[in-house]
Each structure stands twice: as C-alpha cells, then as structure tokens.
Amino acid sequence: MGFTVEEVTRGIERLLARLHADTTRVPSGDGARFRGPSDVTIEIAPMPEERIHYPILFPRTLLRLCGDGAAVESLRQAILLAFLRVGG
C-alpha cells in the first residue's frame, strides 16, 4: 500500500470500529497486528526492501490478511474501499 505504516494502522482501526470489531492493536515489530471479523488476522509492517523492485515516490506498507478465504476476501474489499484515493 502506498501509505505509511502508521496511516495504514489508523485506517484499519477506523475500519474495524465501523465494522463493530475489536480495535485492539497488538504491537508487532515495526508494525501492528489486529484480530479482524471472522477471526481474520490483519498484519501491518513496512514493505521489505527485497520486495521493492522500482523507485518509489510514496512510502510502502505490507498488509497481510490471514484466515478463511471468504472472510479474507470480504475484509479485503472493505479495506480497498477504505483506502481508495481520488486520482485523475
């Protein structure tokens, strides 16, 4: 994601609050971890250098969702909508 780790963490907290899910942040190294709806684990961390293969203009954050396929896909869609930026 083209946001800082802190921006993503705050955005996930707001999204989880809107979904009436647990917003408790578990520190995880340089990032954070949350337990999302339907026991989906949300992990946020800086994008590892080895995964960046081109010059970047914005910070990069790695967001991982782990859990049941349908629950992960539902949460992925909600995150996508929550983080859309107006472009054009």
Binning the chain into helix, strand and coil, the percentages to the nearest 5 are 40, 25, 40
Residue 29's pLDDT is 85
Domain definitions of the chain by residue range: 5-83
- Each residue's pLDDT expressed in tens, for the chain with a length of 88 residues: 788 899 999 999 999 999 999 999 988 888 999 999 999 999 999 988 777 777 667 778 999 999 999 999 999 999 999 888 644 3
Q: Residue 75 has which token pair?
A: 């949460």
Residue 88's pLDDT is 39
Cα-flanking dihedrals φ and ψ of residue 54, to 5°? -150, 160
Render the burial of 21-48: b for 16+ CB within 10 Å, e for the rest: bebebeeeeebbbbbbbeebebbbbebe
The β-bridge partners of 41 are: 35, 66
| H or E element, residue 76 | helix 69-83
pTM, entire model:
0.85
